[in-house]
Amino acid sequence: MNRNIAIAIHGGAGTILRSSMTPELQTQYEDGLRSALHTGYSILEAGGSSLDAVAAAVASLEDFPLFNAGKGSVFNNAGNHEMDACIMNGKNLEAGAVCGISNVKNPVLVARVVMEHSGHVLLSGMGAEDYARSMGMAFEQDDYFYTTQRYQQWQNAVAEDRVQLDHSDKKFGTVGAVALDIEGNLAAATSTGGMTNKKYGRIGDSPIPGAGTYANNDTCAISCTGHGELFIRAVVAHDISCLMAYKNLSLTDACDIVVHDKLVKIAGEGGLVAIDKHGNIYMPFNSEGMYRACRNNNGKYEVSIYKD
Amino acid sequence: MNRNIAIAIHGGAGTILRSSMTPELQTQYEDGLRSALHTGYSILEAGGSSLDAVAAAVASLEDFPLFNAGKGSVFNNAGNHEMDACIMNGKNLEAGAVCGISNVKNPVLVARVVMEHSGHVLLSGMGAEDYARSMGMAFEQDDYFYTTQRYQQWQNAVAEDRVQLDHSDKKFGTVGAVALDIEGNLAAATSTGGMTNKKYGRIGDSPIPGAGTYANNDTCAISCTGHGELFIRAVVAHDISCLMAYKNLSLTDACDIVVHDKLVKIAGEGGLVAIDKHGNIYMPFNSEGMYRACRNNNGKYEVSIYKD
C-alpha cells in the first residue's frame, strides 16, 4: 500500500503586485510560509496526525506578523482585532470553530478545543473567549496584536471610510492548511483577522465548516481564502467535496469548476489549498496571486506567491 | 407551462410526546402553524415572491410565543435571549444572516436587510444589533421575550446545570419556511432562539447558509431544525442540493439519504422542510415529531405534528 503524506498551506490571496513588493519583503513572506510548512510537515513525517499538522502550521502562520491572522490581524472599525478560525477532522467530520474573538493568541487552537471538548461546533464573541479562558488557552494583551503596518492600513481605511480586505493592494488576508497523514486521515484549518475597518460583527467564510474550511476522508481537505461573502454563498469547500463524491471528479477538476467557473461568475475572488485522499495537492486561485506552499513525500516542494 | 406555487413551514422537531400534549395546546400549535402558512401562501397566491413569502411566514412564527424564535425564544445561561436567523434567495444565491442578536423583534427581517443592503452575509452580536438599529428595524424590551414557560424551562435547566434543546421533552426549537413562487423562484428562511441555558455564544446551523438554510433555483429550498452541531458538520441543506444537482436524485430521494441515513449515522436528530423547483414538497424528520405545515395550488394542504 502506498502511504503518502502531504501538506499545503496558504497566507491569503488577492492582488499581490510585484511593483509593491521588495526583495526583502518577498523573502520575509517566503520565510514565513517555509517555516509553517516545515512545522506541519515535520509532524506528518514523524507519523503524527493531519489534525496536529494543520493546527501547528496554522498556529505558526498566526504567529507570523505579516499574515492577517493571530498576531498580524487587521484592525476593525472599533480599533480592535476580531478573529475567526475553524478546524475540521476528515476522519469523523468533527469540526470546531470560533468567530469574533479578541486577544486569543492562537484562534486555531481554540477552535480545536471547541471541537474536542465543548460539545459544540461554533462559539462566538465574548462567550467564545470565556470558553477559551476556562480551558486555559493563551491570551495576549492588545499590544501583542499591534503592528505599525496594520495600524496605518486601518487609519487609511478610516480616513477614506471604507472596509478593506487586508492590504491596500486588495489582499484577502487569511491563513490556512490542509494535510494528509500516514493513516490516510485528512484535516483542514483556517484562521483570519477579517477585513480592515470591518463593522457590525461581520463574519466571513473562514470559521464556517463547508464554506471556508472542510475535510472528509472520502474526498478532500480544503482551506479557502477570498471574498468571504461569496465563498459562503457558494459553499465552496463542501461543493468541491460533493463534486468529487457525487460526480466522481478528480480534485483538480472539482476545484477548477468551483474556483475558475462558479466563483468567477459571482465575482468571488480568491483561492484555496486542497489535498485529496491520495495525497494529490492543488492550490488554485482566480486572483493575481496567493501566498502558498506545499510538500509531500514524493519530492514535491513549492513556495510561491505569483501566478507564474 | 405549469405554474406551481408552494410553501412549507416548520416550528421545530424532536421528541414531541402525545402524553405531554393537551388538546388545547395542540390546537394552539396548529393555529400558529396555520396562521403562518396562510400569511406566506397569501403572498404567493397574489403573485408575490417566495422571498416575501418565507420572510412573512417566519416573522409570523417568530411572533407566536410557543415556538422557539423571536418572541418565544428560550433563555440562555445569562438569562437573556440570543437569536439567529438566515434567509436565502434561490434566484441569485444571495444570503443574509444574523447570529447572537438580542432584543430584535424579527431576526428574519434583519437577516433580509443584511442580504439586501449590507454587502455582507453574516453579522454577529452587538455589531449586528447596531446594524439593525441603523436600518430602523423594530426592537423590543426584554419583557416582550419573557414567557413563564421559557423562564421555568431555564430555571429547571440551571438547577440541573444542563444545556437543553428547547423543551423538557427534547424539542429542537427552530422555525423555518421554504417557498416556490409563480416566477419559479425558490427561497428559504430559518430563525431560532437556540438552546435553553446555552453558554459561550454557541451558534447552531440555522444562520449558516448551506447548513440550516439553503435555496437554489436549480435544485431546492431547504430549512432545517435539529441538533445544530450535527447539521453543520453534515452541511445538510447544501448536501441535499448537491445530491440533486450532481446525482440527479429527486427531492425525496436526496432528503431521505441525508435525513434518514447520513444524519442518523452521526446521531443527528431532527428534520427539515423542502420544496424543489417543480413545487414538490417534502417534510422528512428522523425524530418523533415535527411541527409542520404545507400548501400548494394543486390542493395539497397539511398541518401535522406527529409521525403518523
Q: Is the pLDDT of residue A280 over 80?
A: yes
Mean pLDDT of A44-72: 96
Q: Is A174 a catalytic residue?
A: yes
DSSP calls for B52-121 = HHHHHHHHHHHHSTTSSSGGGPPP-TTS---EEEEEEETTTTEEEEEEEE-SBS-HHHHHHHIIIIIS-S
User: One of A15, A39, A147, A174 is an active-site residue; which one?
Assistant: A174
The confidence score (pLDDT) of residue B168 equals: 44
CA distance B243 to A101: 35
CA distance B217 to B105: 29
**pLDDT single digits (tens) B8-34:** 999 999 877 788 789 999 999 999 999
Of A112-116, A259-263, B191-195, B259-263, which gets the smallest average pLDDT?
B191-195
| CB contact at 8 A, A222 and A273 | yes
Query: ipTM of the predicted structure?
Result: 0.94
Residue appearing with cell numbers 520565510: A31
* Antiparallel, parallel or unpaired: β B175-180 and B171-172: unpaired
Q: Is the pLDDT of residue B58 over 70?
A: yes
Pairwise pLDDT comparison (B250 vs B199), residue with the higher score: B250
Residue from A237, A245, A244 nearest A273 by CA:
A237
**pLDDT single digits (tens) A97-109:** 999 999 999 999 9
> Residue A7: what residue type?
I
Q: Is the pLDDT of residue B166 over 80?
A: no
Mean pLDDT of B216-229: 97
The confidence score (pLDDT) of residue A159 equals: 81
Q: Is B238 an interface residue toward A (CB < 8 Å)?
A: yes
Question: In sequence order, what are the residues at sequence separation of 6 or more whose Cβ sits closer than 8 angstroms to the Cβ of residue B225?
Answer: B10, B12, B13, B172, B173, B174, B175, B176, B190, B192, B212, B270, B271, B272, B285, B290
With cut-offs at 50, 70 and 90, classify the pLDDT of residue B271. Answer: very high
Question: In sequence order, what are the residues at sequence separation of 6 or more whose Cβ sits closer than 8 angstroms to the Cβ of residue B155?
Answer: none
3-state SS, residue B215: strand
| CB contact at 8 A, B306 and B288 | yes
The confidence score (pLDDT) of residue B163 equals: 65
Q: Is the pLDDT of residue B169 over 70?
A: no
Q: Where are the alpha helices (DSSP H) in B160-235?
A: 228-233
The confidence score (pLDDT) of residue B2 equals: 57
Residue from A221, A241, A290, A97 nearest B235 by CA:
A241
Please give the domain boundaries of chain B with CATH numbers for all domains. Answer: 6-306 (3.60.20.30)
Question: In sequence order, what are the residues at sequence separation of 6 or more whose Cβ sits closer than 8 angstroms to the Cβ of residue A3?
Answer: A182, A184
Q: Is B235 an interface residue toward A (CB < 8 Å)?
A: yes
The confidence score (pLDDT) of residue A114 equals: 98
Pairwise pLDDT comparison (B148 vs B289), residue with the higher score: B289
User: Considering only alpha carbons, which residue of chain B is nearest residue A130?
Assistant: B200
* Spacing of C-alpha A284 from chain mean position: 14
Q: Is A246 an interface residue toward B (CB < 8 Å)?
A: yes
User: Could you give the percent of chain A with pLDDT greater than 90?
Assistant: 78
Question: In sequence order, what are the residues at sequence separation of 6 or more whose Cβ sits closer than 8 angstroms to the Cβ of residue B153?
Answer: B74, B75, B164, B166, B167, B168, B196
**pLDDT single digits (tens) B89-144:** 999 999 999 999 999 999 999 999 999 999 999 999 999 999 999 999 999 998 89
Suggest the residue from A122, A199, A206, A236 to mutate for an interface test with chain B (most B CBs closer than 10 A): A122
The confidence score (pLDDT) of residue A47 equals: 97
pTM assigned to the model: 0.95
**pLDDT single digits (tens) A136-180:** 999 999 889 888 888 888 788 878 776 655 444 456 789 999 999
| CB contact at 8 A, A169 and A25 | no
Q: Which among B100, B204, B239 is the nearest to A242, CB-wise?
A: B239
CB pair distance less than 8 Å for B202 and A120: yes
Rounded to the nearest 10 degrees, how much is the dihedral formed by the CA atoms of A133, A134, A137, A142?
A: 0
The confidence score (pLDDT) of residue A90 equals: 98
The confidence score (pLDDT) of residue B171 equals: 65
**pLDDT single digits (tens) A21-32:** 899 999 999 999
Question: In sequence order, what are the residues at sequence separation of 6 or more whose Cβ sits closer than 8 angstroms to the Cβ of residue B2?
Answer: none
The confidence score (pLDDT) of residue B170 equals: 58
User: Could you give the percent of chain B with pLDDT greater than 90?
Assistant: 78
Q: Is the pLDDT of residue A52 over 70?
A: yes
Mean pLDDT of B161-182: 75
CB pair distance less than 8 Å for B125 and A122: no
Q: Is the pLDDT of residue B184 over 60?
A: yes
**pLDDT single digits (tens) B140-151:** 998 898 888 888
Pairwise pLDDT comparison (A168 vs A121), residue with the higher score: A121
Measure the CA angle with vertex B68, ends A125 and B185; round to 5°: 90
The 3 state secondary structure assigned to chain A is: CCCCCEEEEEEEEECCCHHHCCHHHHHHHHHHHHHHHHHHHHHHHCCCCHHHHHHHHHHHHHHCCCCCCHHHCCCCCCCCCCEEEEEEECCCCEEEEEEEECCECCHHHHHHHHHHHHCCCEEEHHHHHHHHHHCCCCECCHHHHCCHHHHHHHHHHHHHCCCECCCCCCEECCEEEEEECCCCCEEEEEEECCCECCCCCEECCCCCECCCEEECCCCEEEEEEECHHHHHHCCHHHHHHHHHHHHCCCHHHHHHHHHHHHHHHCCCCEEEEEEECCCCEECCECCCEEEEEEEECCCCEEEEEECC
Instruction: Please report residues of B whose CB lies closer than 8 A to that of A228.
Output: 121
**pLDDT single digits (tens) A168-209:** 445 678 999 999 999 999 999 999 998 877 888 999 999 999
CA distance A287 to A269: 6
CB pair distance less than 8 Å for B239 and A238: yes
The confidence score (pLDDT) of residue A150 equals: 82
